[in-house]
Chains A and B, each alone.
Chain A
Amino acid sequence: DIVMTQAPLSVSVTPGESASISCRSSKSLLHSNGITYVYWYLQKPGKSPQLLIYRMSNLASGVPDRFSGSGSETDFTLKISRVEAEDVGIYYCGQLLENPFTFGSGTKLEIK
């Protein structure tokens, strides 16, 4: 199975500041079709996960452009600019390249 490793485990951010979350995969997520199959999700407290970023850098519908995704074949970053109180929750990266699809263990974002 492809292992997704996230860092840090938790991050505390002042409103208005930026935050970055890293994710590393144990195998390249770049498909031969040129698409990198890494996804980012946010699970707000008591809610189901919501898609933020798909295929490494594409913003999902309705997601503020304060969120952005970038990376290479195995190293990925989710950046949140101008963090707001509503951004609290657990962020997960996931790979949808190869079955079984897998998630990272999550990064908890808190507000200072």
Chain B
Amino acid sequence: EVKLLESGGGLVQPGGSMRLSCAASGFTFTDFYMYWIRQPAGKAPEWLGFIRNKANGYTTEYNPSVKGRFTISRDNTQNMLYLQMNTLRAEDTATYYCAGAYGYWGQGVMVTVSS
């Protein structure tokens, strides 16, 4: 059974940083691209970026809206996906999801950027 479990969310001040984690299980982690998506309350989701699989060198792509502030990485020994978020703004407030194998999404974690 594919499972994706995000963690690391919470309240952060504007200008601060936060790292989200996503624990993956139930599939061969290195075979799959992994994605981060966010969804502000009451709005449509927004793709943030992805990291490719082993066959494609684990390279990354980002939405220009977050490029330079957000970094996606993975630890293939621990089956973990990460999202490092820097210089956070109020408009980054959202539920953050990881997604991967077979189109599965995690349950999401809330990030609130506020003073």
Which of A's residues lie within 8 Å of B, judged by CB?
39, 47-51, 54, 60-61, 92, 94, 99-106
- In the complex, chain B residues whose CB is within 8 Å of the CB of A106: 44
Interchain residue pairs with CB less than 8 A apart (20): A39-B103, A48-B108, A49-B105, A51-B102, A51-B104, A51-B105, A61-B102, A92-B44, A94-B45, A94-B47, A99-B63, A100-B47, A100-B62, A100-B65, A101-B47, A102-B47, A103-B44, A103-B45, A103-B47, A104-B44
A28, chain B: closest CB distance, angstroms: 19
7 A-B pairs closest in CB distance: A51-B103, A101-B47, A100-B63, A48-B105, A103-B44, A99-B61, A105-B44
Which of B's residues lie within 8 Å of A, judged by CB?
44-47, 61-65, 97, 102-108
Most chain A CB within 10 A, of B45, B64, B65, B108, is at B45
- In the complex, chain A residues whose CB is within 8 Å of the CB of B107: 47-48
